[in-house]
Amino acid sequence: MEINTMAIDATFWVAVSFIIFFGTLVYLKIPQKVSAMLNKIISDIKNEIDESEKLRTEAKILLENSQKRLDSASSVSKEILENAKKDADRLIIEMNDKFHKSSEIKKNLAENKISQMKEAALKEIKDASIKIAVDSVKKIITTSVDKSKLDAVFQKNLDETKQELKKINS
């Protein structure tokens, strides 16, 4: 029986020490302190989760704003490119018009110069013809006094002058 009493005694002392241990824990308010610590940890975790949720929401809003800005920048760049293309096309048309106008003006100036040169040449020819006729008349008058000779020479010089003028005008 001794073995039994010893077993009871050992079991008894284990039970007594177990009760003393839990009693000490209750007396020192360890369960409330553990509970408070766990509640604080749970509260901190909830606060971190809430904070991360706020950060996730802010990040989502920032992403949406950035996407809107990117879309806006893309549309603005497309608009700028379209305007630049329109301006380039308009500039090409203006330059083409200016070139054609300039060419037309140069053509008109050249035609005017040609016309003026033609008129000047005709005037010089007429002046030369008159001078030749006058010189011929002077020559005739000085070489012969005979009226019949004078009329014949005058007629001959007049015919020559007419032929020269016809050649020049042709």
> What pLDDT score does 5 carry?
56
Instruction: Return the domain boundaries, the chain.
Output: 2-169
Q: What is the rounded average pLDDT for all residues in the chain?
A: 84
Q: Is the Cβ–Cβ distance between 150 and 144 less than 8 Å?
A: yes
Q: Is the Cβ–Cβ distance between 133 and 157 less than 8 Å?
A: yes
pLDDT digits (tens, 9 = 90+) for 47-103: 999 999 999 999 999 999 999 999 898 899 999 999 999 998 899 999 999 989 998
Contacts of 144 (CB under 8 A, 6+ apart): 150, 153
pLDDT digits (tens, 9 = 90+) for 83-96: 999 998 899 999 99
Give dist(CA 151, CA 9) in Å, integer.
Answer: 186
Give dist(CA 168, CA 170) in Å, integer.
Answer: 6
pLDDT-derived band at 1 (thresholds 50, 70, 90) equals very low
Residue 161 has pLDDT above 60, yes or no: yes
